[in-house]
Structure 1
Amino acid sequence: MSGEGKAVCVTGASGFIASWLVKLLLQRGYTVHATLRNLKNPNKVSHLLALDGAKERLHLFEAHLLDQNSFDPAIQGCEGVFHTASPVITTPSATKAELVDPAVKGTLNVLESCVRIPSVKKVVVTSSMASIMCKRNPISPTDVVDETWYTDKEFAEEAKQWYFLSKVLAEEAGWKYAVENRIDLVSLHPALVIGPLLQPTLNFSSGVILDLVKEGKKALPTGIYPFVDVRDVANTHIQAFELPSASGRYCLVGITIYSSQILKIASGLFPSLSISDKYKDDLPTVATYQVCQEKAKSLGINYTSFDVSLKDTIESLKEKHFLDF
């Protein structure tokens, strides 16, 4: 067990990706310091306390993105910090301040704690393909997206795409601070993350699949969507921390796929969902754009097949009573 005797910190630990990260870290023998905004909320805490190894090696801390120094107690004594905490609000009413301030200031607050605490050797930040892919011109089928791409900040501002803007600004601020303060930093950029849920609440990307299965293309207009399995994302975080060669940015996309194709696969996997009429005669003939997988594969990541991810997502949504069939 590679983590034996080592402590690491996971911020925003109750989230979809972070819960899986905590689970895999505990499996590998790490002691995990997990931060949450509210330790009294059973929806945020109970599924973490139920994980194997939690009783012995999971320690919970309350911390807030906008409170300076609030991450110090959790990071104390840790060799690695996984910063996953960042607001995801995709409702049309979400404001720039609600998204950008916590994302940027939260990243800097966590990094400032890392500078103050000498035990920290490496920081892995959970960013998003949102800080890579938001462009003025639509991505064409011949494009191959890679780690050199950045979201167009001016366009994101004009289009009021505050989530995209929050991700690219937080990433920029994080890299600038890391370089100035000699922090060994890696940033990971997952697409829409699916797979089984550990937490009892519905997260945004699982909700995308739920809406698609329930409402068909009304929920997700016929377009191309990039997906990745949550278990692959959590695993990549650990590889990024453990491998000395890991550096810079990593796109994490297992597949780019049309929404109508997702419905076709779901219909084949779960005939009782009766969704075949929701994509009739609408399977695309145009190829999707691609996202380069080379850099992620250099960390030893082999992506889970989309059919497996989708099957596990839908079964999990049923098990947690978000979906009846």
Structure 2
Amino acid sequence: MSTVVCVTGASGAIGSWVVLLLLQRGYTVHATVQDIKDENETKHLEEMEGAKSRLRLFEMDLLDIDSIAAAVKGCSGVIHLACPNIIGQVKDPEKQIVEPAVKGTVNVLKAAKEAGVERVVATSSISAITPSPNWPADKIKGEDCWTDLDYCKEKGLHYPIAKTLAEKAGWEFAKETGFDVVMINPGTALGPLIPPRINSSMAMLVGILKGDKETYEDFFMGMAHVKDVAMAHILALENKKAAGRHLCVEAIRHWIDFVDIVADLYPQYNVVRLEHDTQPGLLRAKNGAQKLMDLGLEFTPAEQIIKEAVESLKSRGYV
């Protein structure tokens, strides 16, 4: 793998960590942002050690293949994180979420293949694994499990639909062309924020600390430190053995487990403990991410993830 890697969606919570770790490992990084004039997207990247000599910023639109081609030119690897991440209600989900996710993934793969890129590591999600209510009750959910699209359509869950269709489109492209594609399926990514903006996972934690009663049973399967999620992408890029999908959680947990850990660690906050398990069909597992562990990833323990996340939120004034 040569030393030039393109990171799409580089200004986000995970993307920023990917850029930081790549720079620390000596790579030259082509980082894509939506608006190159927006300091909220660019300043924290430009201030990283090594950025002056080894970071190039590119303005990219997932639906504009020329803008993607410019960013991936001269790169041997691409880490594709850019995706519309809107969990709540939207006016036009097909146009705002599904289309950019699916077409964007295919456009990035096309541009990368044409540019002679060796491998693309793309960010999928546990939302392409769960919700899957018809999965056998005695079997741990993992890389062989796919989200139930009919269930999602019935419940209006547009984000899991987008992530599932985008990942499937990526695999279809890889199958048709023989292109080297690897997928990472992260759970809830928590930890120290690098960008000035908060991401949806950290906003979810803010909600818990402020007494939110939401249960997120269709969006939760476990968590991972944001730095570990970033490292998962880099290990998958560097390691020729990496293939297929990679569940990325420190353990498969229920939402109630997560809330209980937060409540135990932070009794001074108004955390609402759940009386009933909202995910009885989900089997817990300590080594759900065995494929990533086999690549050398050591997951940060749950308590430490939450502590570092809350400290980051406190330092930013969110809680």
Normalised to the residue count of structure 1, the TM-score between the two structures is 0.89
Q: Return the offset for 1:273.
A: 3.1
**Conserved in 2, the CA contact under 8 Å of 1:143 and 1:290?**
no
* Other-structure match for 1:96: 94
TM-superposition CA deviations, 1:81-105 (whole Å, max 9, x none): 0010011111123522211100011
**Matching of residue 34 in structure 1 with residue 28 in structure 2:** no
* Other-structure match for 1:197: 193
Structure 2: how far apart are the matches of 1:182 and 1:263? 43
How many residues align structurally? 315
Structure 1: how far apart are the matches of 2:291 and 2:18? 20
TM-superposition CA deviations, 1:67-86 (whole Å, max 9, x none): 12211111111010001001
Structure 2: how far apart are the matches of 1:84 and 1:225? 20
**Matching of residue 232 in structure 1 with residue 228 in structure 2:** yes
Q: Return the offset for 1:195.
A: 1.0
Q: CA RMSD in A?
A: 2.4
The match for 2:273 among 279, 299, 304 is: 279
**Conserved in 2, the CA contact under 8 Å of 1:34 and 1:74?**
yes
Amino acid at match of 2:17: W
* Other-structure match for 2:262: 266
Gaps of 5+ in 1: none
Q: Return the offset for 1:271.
A: 4.3
Q: Give 1:246-257 correspondences, 5 Å limit.
A: 246-257=242-253
**Matching of residue 219 in structure 1 with residue 220 in structure 2:** no
**SS in structure 2 of the partner of residue 89 of structure 1:** coil
Structure 2: how far apart are the matches of 1:193 and 1:107? 21
The match for 1:175 among 171, 176, 185 is: 171
Structure 2: how far apart are the matches of 1:98 and 1:105? 12
Quick one: structure 1 residues 165 and 48, their matched pair in 2 at CA, closer, same or farther if it must change by over 3 Å? Answer: same
Instruction: State the identity as a percent.
Output: 37
Q: Give 1:100-119 correspondences, 5 Å limit.
A: 100-118=98-116
Structure 1: how far apart are the matches of 2:121 and 2:216? 33
Q: Give 1:1-325 correspondences, 5 Å limit.
A: 6-94=3-91, 95-118=93-116, 120-137=117-134, 140=137, 142-216=138-212, 218-220=213-215, 225-273=221-269, 275=271, 278-279=272-273, 289-290=283-284, 292-323=288-319
Q: Return the offset for 1:222.
A: 8.1
Amino acid at match of 2:214: A
Quick one: structure 1 residues 50 and 274, their matched pair in 2 at CA, closer, same or farther if it must change by over 3 Å? Answer: same
Amino acid at match of 2:110: E
Structure 1: how far apart are the matches of 2:177 and 2:185? 22
Structure 1: how far apart are the matches of 2:60 and 2:217? 40
**Conserved in 1, the CA contact under 8 Å of 2:191 and 2:308?**
yes
